[in-house]
């Protein structure tokens, strides 16, 4: 998967309708990627900084499956946040492909922010990620972000700041809470200070590069994952099958989606007793899609088995990986 660099963006901008990308003298712009173990709050932090939900969140690790770009517009800078899947030791072909996407992303950004949660001690997994980042992008500057500082006391936050500072060999470290909006402006200031001077890459109303169908599929997957445990979440994939204006309901958009799992027994879990879990998934996802699109939606979801799709190259290609 090719991650667009500055020349790609300039070419796209030139081909599109004329847009004013001018910026005042001293304006800074660039790309920052949040990295860290799965479930360290990277997606929640991305949404909080952008000011809009562009990345789904869930209690399970490895929720994010493709790089999601969100744009932070400021008077003195334009920050493009790239939320990536968590770098991890892969167990499946899907995991291997996600890791390759992440590594490609790291090579194309201006700054990498290593995230660790305040309520978990830094361990071998964090050190493995930092080492991997330094091997893949040795020239890219690093900063540290201690997330979820609202969950612990000040002493614990201080200990974690020092530990991350040492892990990153003296890099700047910032404590934040995305849910409580603590220090988000400070983090944005620090990121902007580390970006090069340059023009705007996106118009002022641009929020994310994800297309409509991808965002809808992700919202459905988020709703389906709610309350699931163990390994089933990794077996869930969503595709939008068809989107069209309703033939008999004015102003309603009909959305037909498929949730793929790897085994028949997993279908039963997602359907739930009497179909109640699936109904709840449809209800919750529909509300999120309506909020995103700003119009009424009829949502139909079917469950299908794609046997062992996480390790099947043909199935992975069909599902967009």
Annotated binding site for GTP: 36-43, 83-87, 147-150
Could you list the residues known to form a binding site, using ranges: 36-43, 83-87, 147-150
Residues with Cβ within 8 Å of 98's Cβ and at least 6 positions away in sequence, in order, are 62, 65, 85, 90, 321
Nearest to 83 by CA among 40, 117, 120, 137: 40
Cα–Cα–Cα angle for 30, 33, 39, rounded to 5 degrees: 155
Calpha distance 171→141 (Å, rounded):
9
> 242, exposed or middle or buried, with CB in 10 Å at 0-12, 13-18, 19+?
exposed
CB–CB of 311/94 below 8 Å? yes
Say how far apart CA 273 and CA 265 lie, in whole Å. Answer: 13
């Amino acid at each position: 998967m090719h991650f667009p660099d500055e020349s790609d963006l300039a070419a796209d901008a030139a081909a599109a309708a004329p847009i004013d990308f001018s910026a005042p003298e001293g304006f800074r712009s660039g790309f920052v990627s949040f990295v860290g173990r799965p479930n360290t709050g990277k997606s929640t932090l991305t949404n909080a900084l952008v000011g809009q939900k562009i990345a789904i969140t869930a209690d399970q690790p490895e929720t994010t499956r493709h790089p999601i770009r969100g744009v932070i517009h400021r008077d003195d800078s334009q920050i493009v946040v790239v939320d990536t899947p968590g770098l991890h030791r892969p167990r499946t072909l899907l995991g291997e492909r996600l890791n390759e996407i992440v590594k490609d992303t790291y090579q194309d950004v201006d700054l990498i922010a290593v995230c660790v949660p305040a309520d978990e001690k830094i361990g071998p997994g964090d050190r493995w990620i930092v080492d991997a980042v330094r091997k893949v992008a040795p020239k890219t500057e690093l900063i540290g972000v201690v997330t979820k500082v609202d969950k612990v006391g000040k002493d614990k936050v201080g200990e974690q700041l020092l530990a991350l500072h040492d892990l990153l060999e003296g890099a700047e470290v910032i404590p934040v809470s995305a849910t409580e909006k603590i220090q988000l402006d400070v983090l944005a200031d620090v990121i902007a200070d580390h970006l090069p001077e340059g023009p705007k890459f996106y118009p002022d109303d641009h929020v994310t590069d994800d297309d409509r169908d991808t965002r809808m599929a992700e919202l459905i997957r988020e709703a389906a994952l709610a309350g699931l445990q163990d390994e089933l979440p990794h077996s869930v994939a969503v595709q939008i099958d068809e989107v069209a204006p309703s033939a008999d309901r004015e102003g309603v958009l009909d959305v037909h989606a498929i949730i793929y799992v790897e085994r028949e027994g997993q279908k039963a879990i997602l359907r739930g007793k009497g179909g109640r879990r699936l109904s709840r998934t449809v209800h919750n996802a529909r509300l999120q899609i309506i909020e995103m699109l700003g119009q009424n939606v009829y949502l139909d979801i079917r469950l299908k088995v794609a046997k062992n799709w996480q390790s099947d190259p043909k199935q992975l290609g069909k599902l967009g990986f």
